[in-house]
Every structure is written in structure tokens, then in C-alpha cells.
């Protein structure tokens, strides 16, 4: 399924997998102009590098969930006629997004070389951060795919929610620039801790809030277990709902 989706996505395109890096680069360029010329933001590394790291992280989650939300309803024939573990559908969309994430990461490496920002010692934490991120995406993907199967409004509400979610995550701005109660609320967002952890591990930016990141990891494990359990307990209704 993953191979099928990857081939279909880039079939008969001139740029091929280049599309995986095109949008993050365009967004980085646009926001770099805004936040370095119009409304400058102070960041510990050059802003394009700061922004691209955040956008790469966020786009991985956004792409995973956008595809997962209709992964069951979009494969109604297979879901209703053939028995196999149905979680394969949302998880395969996550695998496709992981391919794009890996391709986009090569540009991040190139930007670090361009701006002469060497990887810090804490780069050894990167596998841990990626593991928590993948598990978080999987948990939300399973929940969204299941919810959209029972309530088709979910895919429309999701588009609104994911747009708001991006801007309450420090993808384009340092979290330290937001103080008071709003800053405290933004730190409760699980994606805030994941984005911050990537920047700390890859760019050496900021500090690692181990308590907050540990709470995010624990919440992710609980949410993933609950999503998987609910998904399986609802499987007997899938054919009827389709």
C-alpha cells in the first residue's frame, strides 16, 4: 500500500520526489521575508534554518493526518470485502509521509552546511525524538481514520483544526517569544514539545524541557494504546458504516 501511494503521488510528475521539499522551501522563503524584513524575530540560528526545521516537522504530522483521515473510507472495497488488520490503511499513509520527511531532511542537512551550523552533541537524542513523533502521528492517525468512518464531517472539521493547530505550535516563531498565560497554554500542545525537541537535538537551539517532553511521550503511549484498542473494538462495524 505504501509503495502504491508513493508511486501514484509522483507518477507522471516532472519533479518527482522534489515535490516533497518544494512546499517547505517555498514556505520557508515566504516566512523568512516576513520575519526577517517586515516583523523581525530573534532566533539563535539563521531564521530560514529555524523555520525550515519547524516546517519539516509540522509537515510530517500534517501530511500523515491529512491522508489518514480518509484512509478507511477511501478504500471501502478492501475494508468491507477482505479481512486483514485494518490499521494497515492509516499506518501506510504514515509510512508515505515518512518517505517525504526523509527526503525533506536532506535539505535541512544542506541548509545546516550552508549556514555553517554543525550538529550539536545532543544529536544522539534524535532517534528518541523521531520515535515519539512517529508514535504520536500514529495515535492521531488511527483516531482520525476511525472517527471519519463513523462521522464524515470529521474530514472537514479536521482541515480547520489542523490550520489552527499549526499556528498554536511554535513552527515559525520561538516559544520563548510568547509569554504569560498564552505561552503557558501553547506549551501544553504536544506538538510544541516535539518541535522544540527537534530544534534542540538537531540545531542545538534552546533547552530540553525533560519533564514536558517526558509527559508528551507518556501521553503519546497512552493515546496510541487507547486508539489502537478502540480501533479494534470497532472493526466489526466497519463494513456497515461503509
- Return the pLDDT at 2: 86
pLDDT at 168 over 80: yes
Judge whether 108 and 31 are in contact, CB under 8 Å: no
Asked if residues 181 and 40 have their Cβ atoms less than 8 Å apart, the reply is: no
What local confidence, expressed as pLDDT, does residue 144 receive? 93
pLDDT of residue 43: 87
CA 176 to chain centroid, in Å, comes to: 21
pLDDT for 163 beyond 80 = yes
The mean per-residue pLDDT over the stretch 161-190 comes to: 88
72-99 confidence digits (pLDDT tens): 888 777 777 777 788 888 999 999 999 8
pLDDT (mean) for 225-236:
88
pLDDT tens digits, 43-64: 889 999 999 999 999 999 999 9
Determine the average pLDDT of the residues in 177-190. 86
At residue 151, the pLDDT reads: 87
Give the pLDDT band (50/70/90) at residue 242.
Answer: low
pLDDT digits (tens, 9 = 90+) for 193-227: 999 999 999 999 888 889 999 999 999 999 999 99
Contact present, 72 and 87 (Cβ < 8 Å): no
Q: Can you tell me the distance from the alpha carbon of 207 to that of 13, in angstroms, rounded to the nearest whole number?
A: 41
* pTM summary value: 0.90
- Asked whether the predicted pLDDT for residue 14 surpasses 80, the reply is no
Which value, in Å, is the radius of gyration of the alpha carbons in the chain?
Answer: 19
What would the grid cell of residue 41 be?
Answer: 524575530
Please give the grid coordinates belonging to residue 101: 520527511
Q: What are phi and psi of 39, to 5 degrees?
A: -130, 80
Three-state SS at 14: coil
Per the model's pLDDT, the better-predicted residue between 105 and 238 turns out to be 105
- What pLDDT is recorded for position 78? 78
Look at residue 80 in the predicted model and tell me its pLDDT: 73
Tell me the three cell numbers of residue 205.
537551539
Say how far apart CA 205 and CA 43 lie, in whole Å.
9
Amino acid at each position: 500500500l505504501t509503495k502504491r501511494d508513493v508511486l501514484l503521488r509522483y507518477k507522471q510528475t516532472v519533479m518527482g520526489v522534489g515535490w516533497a521539499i518544494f512546499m517547505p522551501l517555498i514556505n520557508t522563503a515566504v516566512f523568512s521575508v516576513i520575519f526577517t524584513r517586515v516583523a523581525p524575530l530573534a532566533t539563535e540560528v539563521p531564521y530560514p534554518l529555524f523555520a525550515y526545521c519547524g516546517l519539516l516537522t509540522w509537515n510530517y504530522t500534517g501530511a500523515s493526518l491529512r491522508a489518514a483521515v480518509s484512509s478507511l473510507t477511501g478504500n471501502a472495497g478492501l475494508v468491507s470485502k477482505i479481512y486483514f488488520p485494518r490499521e494497515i490503511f492509516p499506518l501506510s499513509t504514515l509510512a508515505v509521509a515518512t518517505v517525504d520527511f526523509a527526503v525533506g531532511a536532506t535539505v535541512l542537512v544542506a541548509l545546516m552546511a550552508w549556514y555553517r551550523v554543525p550538529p550539536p552533541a545532543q544529536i544522539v537524542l534524535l532517534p528518541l525524538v523521531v520515535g515519539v513523533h512517529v508514535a504520536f502521528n500514529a495515535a492521531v492517525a488511527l483516531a482520525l481514520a476511525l472517527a471519519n468512518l463513523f462521522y464524515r464531517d470529521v474530514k472537514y472539521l479536521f482541515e480547520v483544526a489542523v490550520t489552527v493547530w499549526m499556528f498554536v505550535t511554535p513552527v515559525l516563531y520561538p516559544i520563548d517569544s510568547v509569554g504569560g498565560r498564552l505561552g503557558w497554554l501553547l506549551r501544553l500542545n504536544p506538538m510544541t514539545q516535539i518541535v522544540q525537541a527537534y530544534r534542540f537535538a538537531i540545531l542545538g537551539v534552546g533547552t530540553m524541557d525533560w519533564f514536558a517532553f517526558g509527559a508528551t511521550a507518556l501521553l503519546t503511549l497512552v493515546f496510541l494504546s487507547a486508539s489502537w484498542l478502540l480501533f479494534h473494538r470497532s472493526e466489526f462495524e466497519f463494513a456497515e458504516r461503509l
